[in-house]
């Protein structure tokens, strides 16, 4: 069953994730101990220890008492982008996964100063591969291409008072960089209109209330939307009403006073699509972005942005592309639809490959939040249980599985660690964080992680 990543440890009954998501183990066991103690039990292999992997394992173990589940992860630490994927001041909603990013496909995106949201989020969340990112925060204006929750997360991190961030598990290197940041304005660019924004009301409300920061919402963008909002589905209706109220109505006295004193600001820019990153005079870094002005054809979520032929330039020194994540093929032996970034499947059953299943974004594409992933993973797990109970999955001719993987890891000289080894890393990170008033201080170097795991 594929979610993402590779590595090694076993799961018996219960394991806990950061942020309050509980999945279970009363006692985590190494894979080799399963092989000794339960030679005839059905065994499931899950590749990837993110939310999709754990939710799938939870459902399987809850509804089949004899199943054994082995989880493999490529990093020395579990939980995938639950650990690495979302702003550190939102530990309760960490929920993003997928191994790659979507390219803008425009001239100049390779220039220094242009980053994907995935890389930038990974940088401040301690993803080892992004620990050397070193983004340039010396310009006063940043542009985020996208208007989803991740885009708002990034804007909030760039503009939040340092005193608030010091209480989170943001990496110390990112915190040090933000202390010296000169960014004062963040624009969030969307190719469509306010009725198509992808963020949710909770994230918007938090941005509106962010200390030391004021919103810049152009009233002309919201004229007439109040009447339209009445007929929208409830979540979209409430979100649109808050946007309209914030843009068109006089703010409360306390908000007015707070915004007047703010020295930072953020705004939503609609009907704009990036067509070029503008270089500095010496051509060595990004200095702005050229936007195509668009118009909408259609209504609601199906509305399409059409270029008008007009363009507009915004000067900025930091450009962050938050246009979505993308899964990548796990193996040539596993079918993969590159354009959609998914494994072809039906209810999680990989098309044409009995016994192979998928869950998470590689199953449905990069959409949804933690509850979506939970429901989706339960669906895959239920399909697996149905196939086990109906006899569609046969255990009479088992594959070498964990035995062969363990032997291969040993043969290649790869150092693998167990869940109990991870707990040693966890205790070091927690202790380091407590010394400076944070929930944890993440270890960024995998080699250092291994040192503590095997100590």
Give 292's strand partners: 273, 311
54: phi then psi, degrees, rounded to nearest 5: -70, -40
| 168 in active site | no
Q: Give which of 75, 48, 49, 3 is closest to 415, Cα–Cα.
A: 75
Q: CA 117 → CA 83, 319, 329, 336, 452, distances in Å?
A: 15, 10, 21, 24, 30
| 200 in active site | no
SS3 state at 72: strand
| Ranges assigned E (strand) in 253-297 | 264-269, 272-279, 286-297
8 A C-beta contact, residue 377 and residue 52: yes
User: Of the residues 153, 376, 421, 426, which is catalytic?
Assistant: 153
Residues in the chain: 455
8 A C-beta contact, residue 226 and residue 247: no
Q: Which residues contact 411 (CB under 8 A, 6 or more apart)?
A: none
Contacts for 343-347: CB closer than 8 Å, 24+ residues apart:
343/2, 347/379, 347/380, 347/383
| 90 in active site | yes
| 153 in active site | yes
Q: Give which of 100, 86, 88 is closest to 369, Cα–Cα.
A: 86
Two structure tokens written together for 137 = 């925060």
Say if residue 424 is exposed, middle or buried (CB neighbours under 10 Å; 0-12, 13-18, 19+): middle
Output the DSSP codes for 364-396.
H-S---HHHHHHHHHHHHHHHHHHHHHTSS--S
User: Of the residues 46, 189, 370, 443, which is catalytic?
Assistant: 370
User: Of the residues 59, 90, 157, 189, which is catalytic?
Assistant: 90
Residues belonging to the active site? 90, 153, 370-371
């Amino acid at each position: 069953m594929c979610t993402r990543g590779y590595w090694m440890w076993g799961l018996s009954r219960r394991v806990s994730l950061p942020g309050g998501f509980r999945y279970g183990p009363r006692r985590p066991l190494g894979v080799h101990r399963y092989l000794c103690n339960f030679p005839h039990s059905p065994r499931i292999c899950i590749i990837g220890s993110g939310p999709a992997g754990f939710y799938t394992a939870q459902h399987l173990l809850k509804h089949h008492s004899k199943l054994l589940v082995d989880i493999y992860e490529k990093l020395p630490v579990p939980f995938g982008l639950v650990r690495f994927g979302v702003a550190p001041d939102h530990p309760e909603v960490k929920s993003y996964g997928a191994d790659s990013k979507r390219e803008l496909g425009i001239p100049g995106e390779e220039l220094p100063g242009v980053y994907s949201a995935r890389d930038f989020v990974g940088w401040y969340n301690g993803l080892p591969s992004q620990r050397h990112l070193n983004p340039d925060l010396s310009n006063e204006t940043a542009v985020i291409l996208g208007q989803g929750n991740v885009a708002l997360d990034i804007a909030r991190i760039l503009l939040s008072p340092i005193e608030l961030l010091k209480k989170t598990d943001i990496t110390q290197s990112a915190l040090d960089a933000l202390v010296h940041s000169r960014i004062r304005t963040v624009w969030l660019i969307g190719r469509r209109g306010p009725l198509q924004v992808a963020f949710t009301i909770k994230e918007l409300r938090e941005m509106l209330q962010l200390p030391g920061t004021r919103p810049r919402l152009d009233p002309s963008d919201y004229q007439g939307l109040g009447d339209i909002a009445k007929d929208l589905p409830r979540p979209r209706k409430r979100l649109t009403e808050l946007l309209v109220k914030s843009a068109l109505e006089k703010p409360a006295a306390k908000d007015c006073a707070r915004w007047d004193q703010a020295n930072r600001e953020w705004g939503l820019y609609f009907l704009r699509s990036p067509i070029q990153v503008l270089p500095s005079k010496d051509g060595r870094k990004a200095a702005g972005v050229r936007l195509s002005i668009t118009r909408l054809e259609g209504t609601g979520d199906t509305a399409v942005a059409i270029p008008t032929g007009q363009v507009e330039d915004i000067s900025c020194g930091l450009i962050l592309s938050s246009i979505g994540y993308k899964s990548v093929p796990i193996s040539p032996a596993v079918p993969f639809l590159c354009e959609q970034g998914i494994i072809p499947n039906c209810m999680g059953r990989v098309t044409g490959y009995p016994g192979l299943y998928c869950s998470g974004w590689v199953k449905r594409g990069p959409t949804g939040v933690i509850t979506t992933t939970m429901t989706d993973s339960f669906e895959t797990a239920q399909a697996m249980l149905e196939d086990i109970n109906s006899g569609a999955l046969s255990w009479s001719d088992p594959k070498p599985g964990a035995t062969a993987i363990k032997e291969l890891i040993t043969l290649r000289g790869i150092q693998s660690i167990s869940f109990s080894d991870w707990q040693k890393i966890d205790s070091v990170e927690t202790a380091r964080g407590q010394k400076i008033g944070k929930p944890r201080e993440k270890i960024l170097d995998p080699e250092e992680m291994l040192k503590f795991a095997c100590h």
